[in-house]
Amino acid sequence: MNQSAEEILKKYYGYTEFREGQKNIIDNIMNGKDTFAIMPTGGGKSICYQIPAIMLPGLTLVVSPLISLMKDQVDALNSLGISAGVINSSQGINEVKDTIYKATQGELKLLYVAPERLEVESFCRVLQTLNVSQIAVDEAHCASQWGHDFRMSYRNINPFINRFNNRPIISAFTATATSNVREDVIKLLNLKEPGVFITGFDRKNLYFSVVKNENKKDFILKYIEDNKEKSGIIYAATRKEVENIYKGLKQKGYSIDKYHAGMNDNERAQSQEKFLYDDIKIMVATNAFGMGIDKSNVRYVIHYNMPKNIEAYYQEAGRAGRDGEPGECILLFGPRAIMLQKFFIEQTVLTHERKMSEYRKLQAMVDYCHTTRCLRKYILEYFGEKNVKDKCDNCGNCKNEGETIDITVDAQKIFSCIYRIREKYGVTMIAEVLRGSKNKKILNLRLNQLSTYGIMKNYTIKGIKDLINVLIAEEYLTLTEEEFSVVKLKNKAIDVLKNKEKVMQKVYKRKEKVQEDNSLFEMLREIRKKIAQREAVPPYIVFADSSLKEMSEYVPLIKEEMLNVKGVGEKKFERYGEEFLEVIIEYNNEHNLRKQEMINNEEDSKDKKIPSHVKTLSMVKEGKKLEEISQIRGAKLDTVKDHIIKCGLEGYEIDWNLLIPQQHEELILEKIKEVGCEKLKPLKDLLPEDIEYITIKAVICKHKIKDVS
């Protein structure tokens, strides 16, 4: 195929430029080299092997772990006009035969299979007769026993590769891999002098927070009520907790379903489908749910319990905001989660070496919950990133949201009670003594005779238990590791009793709900839902939320404008574009968002063969301000600025002061001398945050340092 990677990106995927690292990875594959790429969830891993699959002769075999992931990928590719097939255990024999026949006839560019399929001798023999140009291994961390999701079936991949006389290019991808996991994967897949690309683990659009000081069920109810129009996932550690959360929210009337291993295959499939197709807003699930779920518009992920390690947490939390729009990742910490995860380790991990590794990872997860440092910095350094900023301004610790209050006196009352009952009882019994309960057990044990009996009558039992749990989380108290845990004092509590230390509690500040006018966005979601139902695909395969948001913001009224929306390629427009334009035009006519004369002017300019960027420059020379031109033309301000830069590249006389603030130019030139300008991101990272990419491009163009288009 003679098309360039950039042309394919625009034609099929609707984007004009690659994300960080994608082009280098694609180039490495196209140069015939093995490739191992570690990219964050939502970073565009699939494009990195799909575009080479289109460009390379023959077939690309994609090894992927889950049926749902493979089906969604194939549906998405076929909707783009790229021929793809899938073979999995849910299909009948005739469907499998038909897919294999298409592959042998050269009708497929990509074929998705599970690693278990590579154990089927007849399938392997057929594949060896085909021109397999690339084998792409998704979720490659599954090959390593040191990874968080080890799967023995991934050990079938290397023996399968070795059967080919003409060895295909091998590409492997994952979102979460520490250095020892990376080394293990390269060895186990037998990658030959691979290009290793680590594009960074950061997900800048995700907000991370740990909530330790609130009742979990109350917190979830408050959060869901404020975000009930958004799609989200609530993870819990056990089936019982999933069921309890599900029932509680279902009774409140929320759009919700559940997913756990106690449900049969059909129930889980139906539940997952309802979530993918936007028939429900909220999924409550164990960690059995989610791997390979390519739903792009998940706006929040709440962990009701602490996961077993950072790798698992980051992958699960990373299911929020895959479309690049803001997402929120909230971990509700409770000390019992530590004991639960230790129990799971004892029950499921057999070798001593692996068990010690799991305990170390668990401790790192616990430290994350307690750290007062930037949460993003903690995660990125865990995965080996260097020189991470101390403050990200997009996590709970950096934002420092909430009010800190002094609870020393109440803490002393609790510590004193625990001391006087000789550290023999659990949280509930302590709370009842402090509240002054008259239940039979307390009276029989004569606990009502203690000096601390009833000294917290102003609290409810629930309120006292919440305070005790806060003190456990802050390590003033500890719980014994047994079924009916007993509360014990730690040295920190003794210092508080002796008035040597104070106890401060941070109270989580509830965010105010922001009201937005998103009526056009909702109309576009409705038409997307109808199209998705008609074509039997999840809505995000038609268009992602980010594309709909851009449509509702910039109101494209003609095909050329629609093709400028991110995620709208030629193939997508051919299939769905007119239906969306019809809705947008009707909405525009009703609300008079953009004047029809402007559209007529644009059409006239096309008839006169005046390029759009030159039309923009002529409006500048007429004395119009950039913001005014943006409104008149219905284009983004950055698009207007890009037009001017394009004119500069073509030799037109430009007043660069329109684009370059005087105080920024010298600083940008200074940094260009340091790192060059082959890539804009390293340059942008060295500059103050208020200096925009468009300003950097303008300086480069003005001084003719590099061709920027």
Contact 251, 221 (CB under 8 A): no
| Partner residues linked to 173 by β-bridges | 37
CATH architecture classification, 515-594:
Orthogonal Bundle (1.10)
Contact 610, 616 (CB under 8 A): no
Relative to beta strand 327-332, strand 206-211 is: parallel
Alpha helix (H) ranges present in 56-92?
Answer: 67-79
How far does Cα 525 stand from its chain's mean position? Answer: 21
Relative to beta strand 84-87, strand 298-303 is: unpaired
Q: Which residues contact 689 (CB under 8 A, 6 or more apart)?
A: none
Please tell me the predicted confidence (pLDDT) of residue 288: 76
Q: Which residues contact 110 (CB under 8 A, 6 or more apart)?
A: 50, 53, 59, 60, 61, 62, 74, 77, 82, 83, 84, 85
- How many residues would you count in the chain? 709
Query: 430, 222, 461, 212: which is closest to 337 by C-alpha?
Result: 212
Q: Which residue has the tokens 């961390």?
A: 141
Alpha helix (H) ranges present in 502-623?
Answer: 519-535, 539-542, 545-554, 559-562, 570-572, 578-591, 596-607, 612-621
Relative to beta strand 132-137, strand 110-113 is: unpaired
What the block records as the tokens of 618 is 């002529």
d(CA 638, CA 627): 10
Relative to beta strand 231-235, strand 298-303 is: parallel
**Could you count the other beta carbons within 10 Å of the beta carbon of residue 545?**
26
What the block records as the tokens of 250 is 């279902």
Please tell me the predicted confidence (pLDDT) of residue 361: 86
Please tell me the predicted confidence (pLDDT) of residue 596: 44
Domain boundaries, the chain: 5-198, 206-400, 404-507, 515-594
Same fold, 404-507 and 515-594: no
Contact 627, 637 (CB under 8 A): yes
> Which long-range contacts (C-beta less than 8 Å, at least 24 apart) are formed by 156-162?
156/115, 156/116, 156/118, 156/119, 157/63, 157/115, 157/118, 157/189, 158/188, 158/189, 158/190, 159/118, 160/118, 160/124, 161/135, 161/189, 161/190, 162/190
d(CA 137, CA 126): 19
194 DSSP assignment? P
d(CA 483, CA 480): 9
CATH architecture classification, 404-507:
Orthogonal Bundle (1.10)
d(CA 383, CA 379): 7
Contact 110, 87 (CB under 8 A): no
Q: What is the CA radius of gyration of the chain?
A: 29
Low-confidence ranges of the chain (pLDDT < 50): 1, 483, 512-515, 596-608, 707-709
- CA distances (Å), origin 509, targets 400, 403, 604: 10, 7, 54
d(CA 25, CA 267): 39
Fold of 206-400: Rossmann fold (3.40.50)
d(CA 308, CA 342): 9
User: Helix, strand or coil for residue 171?
Assistant: strand
For Cα atoms 392, 398, 403, give the angle at the middle one, nearest 5 degrees.
Answer: 165
The DSSP element (H or E) to which 488 belongs, if any, is strand 487-489
pTM of the model: 0.60
Straight-line distance from the first to the last Cα atom of the chain, in angstroms, rounded to the nearest whole number = 24
Conformational region of residue 594, where left means phi above 0, alpha means psi within -120 to 50, and beta covers everything else? beta
Question: What would the CATH number be for the domain defined by 5-198?
Answer: 3.40.50.300
Angle, helices 626-633/637-649, rounded to nearest 10 degrees: 110
Contact 417, 430 (CB under 8 A): yes
The DSSP element (H or E) to which 653 belongs, if any, is none
Contact 547, 537 (CB under 8 A): no
